[in-house]
Amino acid sequence: MNRGRFAPTPSGKMHLGNARTALLSWLHMRALGGEFVLRMEDIDTARSRGEWAELALLDLRWLGLDWDEGPDVGGPYAPYTQSERMERYAAALERLQASGHIYPCYCSRADILASASAPHGLSSEGPSYAGTCRHLTAAERAEKARRKDPSLRFALPEGREVRFADGIAGPQVFPPGSGGDFVISRADGLYSYQLSVVVDDADMRITDVLRGSDLLDSTPRQILLYEALDLAPPAFLHVPLLNGPDGKRLAKRHGGIAISAYRERGTAPERLVGWLAYVSGLIDRPEPVKASELVRSFDLSMIPRQPVVVDVPDI
């Protein structure tokens, strides 16, 4: 059976872009007769807040979405909140250490930024790591460990190209070394998104990952982690983002985009769902519609293949 998921990060209020991804992921599973899982990705405990997690559940239900498993309803693969799953990440980290896939890195962010040879990597991480600590001797590591606790990096396989067929973006090819060796556990012990999402999706038997195209360049890293952990990766589907009139990703700077703001001012959820469906190519005009009414006609081929420029809806 197909199993999909939506996994919000409760570091702020859920907005139009989040809601669109949730709606499309939900429709994809419901159209396939599959199961839909809600997972709360609060692994960055410093930025995440419980009240925003609760608000996300309220917003999603207001939009007419439901889930078969999740933090509030439970399920066979609980817990569905990352901050309660630290033992699973620790176990995966031990497996990677035992198989020689990771190494300690003593570089600071300033060291990485100062590396003239470092090409730009994933947009959220800045320059790609140049591999400075990958080939340190045991003595060199011991000397550096006396001055600094290390992060742990995943060593990209030498010469390995990553290819996969994306269900929306089409065939993808990432050359060897794309993004550089990446951190999977910070010096302070915080596990990375890359590790936690792979462990969670595998544990929860997720078969289809539909998410925003801003995560497309994270996918080869996750595929390599699946392989290193002897796990089967899911199918990936990356949806082009919603951009504001300035051509930049829709964000708070474009005005009131929080779902809770629409709900609190009395907007009918069907009006917002209709707008989300319209900008996603599912209907030909922004008219009120219930999420459940979109299931029968849902087709992935209707979703635009390029970012969609929108104005924040005044509804």
Comparing 66-80, 115-129, 153-167, 192-206, which segment has the lowest mean pLDDT? 115-129
Q: Which pLDDT score is estimated for 117?
A: 42
Q: What is the pLDDT of residues 215-234, one digit of tens each?
A: 999 999 999 999 999 999 99
Nearest Cα to 182, choosing from 235, 218, 148?
218
Closest CA to 154 of 107, 102, 193: 102
**Among 13, 148, 248, 252, the one annotated catalytic:** 252
Q: Which fold has domain 3-83+240-309?
A: Rossmann fold (3.40.50)
What is the model's pLDDT at position 173? 97
**CATH code linked to domain 87-193:** 3.90.800.10
HSE-up of residue 3 (Cα within 13 Å, Cβ side)? 18
Q: Where in the chain is the domain with CATH 3.90.800.10?
A: 87-193
* Residue 177 near residue 221 (C-beta atoms within 8 A): no
> How far apart are the C-alpha atoms of 84 and 82, rounded to whole Å?
5
**Alpha carbon distances (Å) from 31 to 35, 138, 190, 203, 299:** 10, 54, 37, 23, 8
Residue 121, pLDDT above cutoff 90? no
60 within 8 A of 269, measured Cβ to Cβ: no
Query: What amino acid is encoded at 289 in this protein?
Result: V
Where along the chain do the CATH 3.40.50.620 domains lie? 3-83+240-309
The per-residue pLDDT of the chain, averaged, comes to 92
Query: 155 or 251: which carries more pLDDT confidence?
Result: 155
Question: Rounded mean pLDDT of 246-265?
Answer: 82
With cut-offs at 50, 70 and 90, classify the pLDDT of residue 125.
low
Residue 209 burial (CB count, 10 A):
21
| 290 is known as an active-site residue | no
Do residues 295 and 289 touch, judged by C-beta distance below 8 A? no
| Residues 67/37, Cβ–Cβ less than 8 Å | yes
